[in-house]
Structure 1
Amino acid sequence: MPRIGVTGHVRLADGTAELVYAALSATLATHDGPLHGVTCLADGADQLFARAVAALGGTFEVVLPAADYRTVVDDRESFDDLLGKAIRVDYLPYARSDAAAYFAASDELLNRVDHLIAVWDGVASDVVSSTAHVVRTARDRGLPVTVIWPAGARRA
């Protein structure tokens, strides 16, 4: 069973979540056989990915960066709902959600997947917890990366 991970922008402009969800659903629907996702369940792209995987009858696991992660997400109700649907939840050994914890979570996610979907506008960044950095790291490791950024999508 292929293990598909996600990275992507957290802050999406009004109307963009619907575009991204549709694109994620269409992309994930092309995978043959059982669908299994790996996500850090961040706001934005990660949660949309988890919803799309579940809607397509797949399963997903969650890698949480730190013990306090729930306190930093914007939509705790959505986070809690999705966390309850995960077949596996792992917390990394960080007390606080910071750049080091985010980097470690992305690294762990990449260790667990065969393919990465990036909800990414293509803008480069040297920030180690950025979508651009995760995409670059995945490519450096030889992981296939599918970039999704639908027409009309914008970051908030």
Structure 2
Amino acid sequence: MTRIGVTGHMNITRDSVPAIYREIVRILSATGDPAGLVGVSCIARGADSVFAQAVLDVGGRLEVVLPSRSYRERKVKPDHAEVFDGLIARAAIVRVMDFDDAGREAYEAANEAVVGTCDQLIAVWDGQPSEQGGTGTVVELARAKGVPVDIVWPPDAARG
């Protein structure tokens, strides 16, 4: 079994999605047997959801990590709700961090749960430094733990 987690920007542009999706599928497909693939994602808008869909599309299992009990109600915007709900419905496992509300501690716990349970991390990242808990700090966390990181940022990718 191969467990691959994801971190990435929430604000990738719509035009960036196809190239990012293709690169994620390429990395996931290189693991071999899709029946042994588990993708771990917080399914936030942007990179996390693109990754989660790619995992399902290649035949892997999706494991979702939610930062808090109220995440769906308080953080998922109406324009992402249908995608979020669809991914939750197809997830093999949904794990919820022990926080009532999503905040810095909850996000850091979710990031730790993703990184701490995967063999590899895909980072949809433009390489720019980030605030605490952002994509760059999750990449640093993974590297510090010895988790291999694949950076995905195709030449035409952009943030909106």
User: What is the TM-score normalised by the length of structure 1?
Assistant: 0.96
Q: Any residues of structure 2 matched to 1:1-156 within 5 Å, and which?
A: 1-33=1-33, 34-71=36-73, 72-74=75-77, 75-125=80-130, 127-156=131-160
Note the aligned Cα RMSD (angstroms): 0.9
Instruction: Determine the C-alpha separation between the residues in 1 that align with 2:102 and 2:55.
Output: 25
Secondary structure of residue in 1 paired with 2:24: helix
Post-superposition shift, 1:97? 1.1
Instruction: Determine the C-alpha separation between the residues in 2 that align with 1:21 and 1:14.
Output: 11
Secondary structure of residue in 2 paired with 1:138: helix
**Quick one: percent identity of the two aligned structures?**
41
| Aligned residue-pair number | 155
Post-superposition shift, 1:35? 1.4
Post-superposition shift, 1:132? 0.1
Instruction: Determine the C-alpha separation between the residues in 2 that align with 1:17 and 1:79.
Output: 16
Cα deviations by residue, 1:118-155 (Å, 9 ceiling, x for unpaired) = 00000012x22100000001001111000000111001
Unaligned runs of 5+ in 1: none
Instruction: Determine the C-alpha separation between the residues in 2 that align with 1:87 and 1:36.
Output: 9
Secondary structure of residue in 2 paired with 1:15: helix
Q: Tell me which amino acid in the other structure corresponds to 1:136.
A: E
Cα deviations by residue, 1:20-68 (Å, 9 ceiling, x for unpaired) = 1111111111111221111111110111111001000110101100011
Provide runs of 4+ in structure 1 moved above 2 Å. none
